[in-house]
């Protein structure tokens, strides 16, 4: 009988990944987000209209509705995917690297004190977690995923080939969209650390986001020199 335990490959992650039912992003209230954004002084029209986002999701997944889907998480999806998944594996791509290049004035930052969120951008190495979504749950789980990741168009969906200990899989992920004004590449590491050390927004502090990323990579035994460097710099600024 096949093993149906989602954590069969990584029992060390049991209890370290938030249940979908407990995630803020599972039932994300966009009216609340709009209200908070307006109170914070953000201009209207900052996010993608729901009908456009949904049309994009369906177009992107066209021809794949009958298959299981792998989703690659490299930041907060690693510990808070907000999706119901049947399997999780450690996965690696050689096409992209992590980058704090997403200028954030809402979730982990503000207009007065912007923060930075992770994207993946063209690079040489990124290890994270791949989550398998079963075909019969694909519609709702990707609705939840796209509402979160594509709330604005700073990300672009991409297909990645991931190497895992149990074979190569093709996975959906979200990379930096350089056509969007909030993607700001090549920020000096010292400035990245300074912004992250101080910023805070609706979802909490920017430093906590970095610390959670650092912690979960450490838990998996993943050595990302970039994250280690930014974490060390930001932590020093908070002492």
Identify whether 134 is a catalytic site residue: no
What is the Cα–Cα distance from 226 to 135, expressed in whole angstroms? Answer: 35
Distance between CA atoms of residues 146 and 54, nearest Å: 8
SS3 category, 215: helix
Tokens of 203: 């979802």
Which structure tokens are listed for 122? 């063209």
Contact 118, 99 (CB under 8 A): yes
Calpha distance 179→152 (Å, rounded): 12
The answer to whether 180 and 88 have CB atoms below 8 angstroms apart is no
- The count of C-alpha atoms lying within 13 angstroms of the C-alpha of 19, restricted to the half-sphere facing its C-beta, is 3
Q: Which residues contact 154 (CB under 8 A, 6 or more apart)?
A: 102, 119, 176, 177, 180, 182, 183
What are the helix (H) ranges across 81-188? 138-149
Cβ atoms within 10 Å, residue 103: 18
Choose the catalytic residue: 149, 165, 170, 181: 149
User: Active-site residues: which are they?
Assistant: 149
């Amino acid at each position: 009988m096949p093993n149906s335990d989602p954590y069969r490959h990584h029992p060390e992650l049991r209890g370290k990944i938030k249940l979908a039912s407990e995630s803020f992003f599972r039932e994300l209230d966009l009216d609340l987000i709009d209200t908070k954004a307006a109170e914070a002084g953000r201009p209207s029209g900052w996010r993608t209209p729901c009908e456009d986002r949904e049309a994009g999701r369906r177009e992107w997944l066209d021809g794949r509705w009958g298959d299981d889907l792998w989703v690659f998480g490299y930041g907060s999806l690693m510990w808070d995917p907000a999706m119901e998944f049947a399997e999780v594996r450690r996965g690696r791509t050689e096409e992209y690297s992590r980058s704090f290049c997403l200028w954030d004035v809402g979730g982990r930052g503000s207009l007065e004190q912007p923060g930075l969120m992770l994207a993946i951008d063209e690079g040489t190495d990124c290890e994270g977690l791949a989550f398998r979504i079963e075909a019969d749950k694909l519609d709702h789980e990707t609705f939840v995923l796209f509402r979160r990741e594509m709330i604005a168009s700073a990300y672009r969906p991409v297909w990645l080939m991931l190497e895992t200990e149990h074979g190569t899989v093709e996975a959906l992920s979200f990379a930096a969209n350089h056509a969007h004004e909030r993607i700001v590449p090549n920020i000096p590491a010292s400035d990245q650390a300074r912004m992250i050390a101080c910023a805070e927004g609706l979802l909490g502090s920017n430093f906590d986001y970095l610390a959670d990323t650092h912690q979960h990579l450490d838990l998996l035994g993943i050595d990302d020199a970039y994250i280690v460097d930014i974490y060390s710099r930001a932590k020093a600024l908070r002492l």
